[in-house]
A and B are shown apart, each in its own frame.
Chain A
Amino acid sequence: MTHPGTSFSPIPADAVAWLGTNPIPAAPYYDPAYFERERRAVFLTSWIHVGHACELPEPGAFVRRDLEFARASLLIVRGNDGIVRAFHNVCPHRGTQLVEAAAGRQSRFSCPYHMWTFGPEGDLLSAPDFGAFHLRKEDCGLKPVALQECAGLLFVNFDPQAQPLRDWLGDYAGRLEQMPVARATTFSEYTYEIAANWKLTYDNFQENYHLRFVHPRSGGAGVGGDNPFGYPVEIGFHGPHRTQRIWSNPDPALKPFQRAASFCGIPALAEQGLLTLPHGRDYLALFPNLFVIGTPTQPFSHTVYPLAADRSRGVVRVYWVGEDASASQRLAREYALAQLRDIHSEDVGIIERGQAGLASGALSHIHFQSMEALCRHLFLEVDRRVQAGAAGPEQRG
């Protein structure tokens, strides 16, 4: 690897030759039929990130998460036993959605229709005139969805046969646990809706080729010198997941206020031991739709949820350890959020232009160069599942 501060050594194209160099079919990026196959073969069978344990600090704390790809609304709640569980936000009586609030804390969850009432572990506590149903209460609990946690990050899986989350994440589980997100107690968040396929959206954030063109002002520190495209110093692959180590510009062009507003957060990070973690220049691209970045001054996750073949929703969270303790810490965190949002806001329009172009059907194929290898890897991992799903005897969902 290149040591920060020394010159950049490009990753040789040979390193990603095993992924092939062929053009990639364009239809999977806009075709509704492909999207439907993908929804079943990828999203209903993978561990999908839905939140963080710090959102649910105490028993009864809950969040409602609507996952369009599963046509599901989930109630994710910490039980009195301290365990976080996910349930379909659906009353087992006649299907009424139980919770309308996006988040809160309750000791009981009552369906507004007929007052069936559930505890935070999902069990039916009471239901008016229940004797008239000829049912047993223990058979009428909320319908669970598998939920597991790694590094504070909560994932759900709609496949009852899913392998455990840690097996799914493999070696990357240990890396996640060494990132700031694993110690996070709070976060800031922004979200966006985009008229683009989830893969086209996600791909934008796993290649650096576009940085100098799309982010000429906001991304100035990430490109330059002997690395004009800001290419990564390392990339890696692990099962369906992948990683990049971001290049450290030895001579970043920082503006005076940018320097002041960024550096004033450094002492608190140092005190918290967050500057010496091993993955401070790494991001993990966790299949299918999550990024987690270890940069201590801007530790964020970015999830791209599919809504339709040509529509997605992005959720970006900047995770922090502890509430703001000083004015300097608060300023640095505000600046980190605003700066990241500035960069991401420059991507949305260009991604949508890509979608508009692809949707015309003008292209049968698109092209990825060797430093777009992560995009190629995502497509190959998705397509393998879609093709295997098509060959299977039966689909669920």
Chain B
Amino acid sequence: MSGETALPPGFAALEPFVAGWALPTTAARAARRGEATSDEREQFFAAASPLVASALAHLDARPLHALDPAEQRLLNLLLALAHVGLAVEMQGPAEARHALGRARMQITRAVADAEPGA
């Protein structure tokens, strides 16, 4: 466990996914969904989706602006899962073709990119 990939206690199983998926903007997360292989998406989804409830319970205990770097990484993983979940749960084998249409829809602004208010 290194400082760059550390996650809050209880979420160490997700640390191998931090480098690839804990991305800071909505557009970057959406793009990563499209660039990843289906194996990468499925492995991330399989590891992270069972931890959604416990991760939210941990993060919701404090306001967004008070999250420490490890918690922020965990949140960014959850937000990446929002995109990956659509690929794995909804699109399945149609995901590669679906990415072509999605590339046409350019994300120009996202509330999650804003700095959390104090």
A191 at the B interface (CB under 8 A) = yes
Cβ contacts under 8 Å, A189 to chain B: 107-110
B82 at the A interface (CB under 8 A) = yes
A189–B75 CA distance with the chains assembled, in angstroms:
21
Q: Does A326 lie within 8 Å of B111, measured CB to CB?
A: no
Cβ contacts under 8 Å, A323 to chain B: 111, 114, 116-117
A396 at the B interface (CB under 8 A) = no
A323–B63 CA distance with the chains assembled, in angstroms:
12
Q: Does B102 lie within 8 Å of A335, measured CB to CB?
A: no
* Cβ of B94 to closest chain A Cβ, rounded Å: 6
Of all chain B residues, the one with the shortest Cβ separation from A323 is: B117
Within 8 A of A (CB), among B54-82: 55-56, 59-60, 63-64, 67, 75, 78-79, 81-82
Q: Does A344 lie within 8 Å of B64, measured CB to CB?
A: no
Cβ contacts under 8 Å, B1 to chain A: none
Of all chain A residues, the one with the shortest Cβ separation from B26 is: A334
Q: Does A338 lie within 8 Å of B94, measured CB to CB?
A: no
B12 at the A interface (CB under 8 A) = no
A327–B58 CA distance with the chains assembled, in angstroms:
9
Cβ contacts under 8 Å, B104 to chain A: 192-194, 345, 348
* Cβ of B79 to closest chain A Cβ, rounded Å: 5
Q: Does A331 lie within 8 Å of B82, measured CB to CB?
A: yes
Within 8 A of B (CB), among A217-275: 217-218, 220, 255-258, 260-261, 264
A337 at the B interface (CB under 8 A) = yes
A170 at the B interface (CB under 8 A) = no
A217–B93 CA distance with the chains assembled, in angstroms:
11
Q: Chain A's interface: helix, strand, loop or mixed, by majority?
A: helix
Q: Does A345 lie within 8 Å of B85, measured CB to CB?
A: no
Cβ contacts under 8 Å, A101 to chain B: none
A325–B49 CA distance with the chains assembled, in angstroms:
22
A330–B59 CA distance with the chains assembled, in angstroms:
11
Q: A256-B49, A335-B85, A345-B98 are in contact. Are A190 and B78 (CB under 8 A)?
A: no
Cβ contacts under 8 Å, A256 to chain B: 49, 89
Summed over the interface, the residue pairs from A and B with CB atoms below 8 Å come to a total of 138
* Cβ of A76 to closest chain B Cβ, rounded Å: 16
A321–B110 CA distance with the chains assembled, in angstroms:
14
A193–B59 CA distance with the chains assembled, in angstroms:
38
Number of interface residues of A (CB under 8 A): 43
A304–B110 CA distance with the chains assembled, in angstroms:
20
A192–B26 CA distance with the chains assembled, in angstroms:
16
Q: Does A192 lie within 8 Å of B105, measured CB to CB?
A: yes
A73 at the B interface (CB under 8 A) = no
Cβ contacts under 8 Å, A333 to chain B: 111-112
A257–B67 CA distance with the chains assembled, in angstroms:
24
Instruction: Give A333-357 as 1s and 0s: 1 = Cβ < 8 Å from B's Cβ atoms.
Output: 1110111011011111100000000
Q: Does B107 lie within 8 Å of A341, measured CB to CB?
A: yes
A331–B78 CA distance with the chains assembled, in angstroms:
7
A362–B102 CA distance with the chains assembled, in angstroms:
30
Cβ contacts under 8 Å, A220 to chain B: 90
A132–B12 CA distance with the chains assembled, in angstroms:
73
Cβ contacts under 8 Å, B94 to chain A: 217
Of all chain B residues, the one with the shortest Cβ separation from A314 is: B105
Q: Does A188 lie within 8 Å of B106, measured CB to CB?
A: no
19 A-B interface contacts by CB (under 8 A): A188-B111, A190-B105, A257-B45, A257-B81, A257-B89, A258-B89, A327-B55, A327-B64, A327-B78, A330-B75, A330-B111, A331-B82, A334-B82, A335-B85, A337-B107, A338-B30, A345-B101, A345-B102, A348-B105
Instruction: Please list the residues of chain A having a beta carbon within 8 angstroms of any beta carbon in chain B.
Output: 186-194, 217-218, 220, 255-258, 260-261, 264, 316, 320, 323-328, 330-331, 333-335, 337-339, 341-342, 344-349
8 extra interchain contacts, Cβ-Cβ under 8 A, other than A194-B104, A316-B105? Answer: A188-B107, A320-B111, A323-B116, A327-B55, A328-B60, A335-B85, A342-B102, A345-B98
| Those 3 A-B pairs whose CB atoms lie nearest each other, nearest first | A327-B59, A345-B101, A255-B89
